[in-house]
């Protein structure tokens, strides 16, 4: 399963910090950012993706994060 999120992360340093945090909390998932996309996409791939937990983790670090439908 792959979930795609729209974020307001624009800096590679911020993306790297969030990737490290998300990887720590979701070790069985593949996580990456596409900052070249107009929606600054965050993709999370795994057998089951905890959408609410991801949004809360990103938001608690000062960034916007919403699930793209």
Domains present along the chain, CATH in parentheses: 2-67 (3.30.70.100)
What are the tens digits of pLDDT across the range 14-59?
999 999 999 999 999 999 999 999 999 999 999 999 999 999 999 9
Distance CA 26, CA 24 (A): 6
Give pTM, 2 decimals.
0.93
Confidence of residue 69 (pLDDT cuts 50, 70, 90): confident
């Amino acid at each position: 399963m792959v979930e795609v999120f729209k974020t307001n992360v624009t800096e590679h340093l911020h993306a790297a910090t969030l990737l490290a945090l998300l990887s720590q909390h979701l070790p069985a998932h593949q996580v990456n950012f596409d900052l070249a996309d107009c929606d600054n996409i965050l993709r999370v791939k795994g057998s089951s993706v905890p959408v609410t937990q991801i949004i809360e983790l990103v938001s608690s670090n000062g960034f916007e994060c919403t699930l793209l439908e």
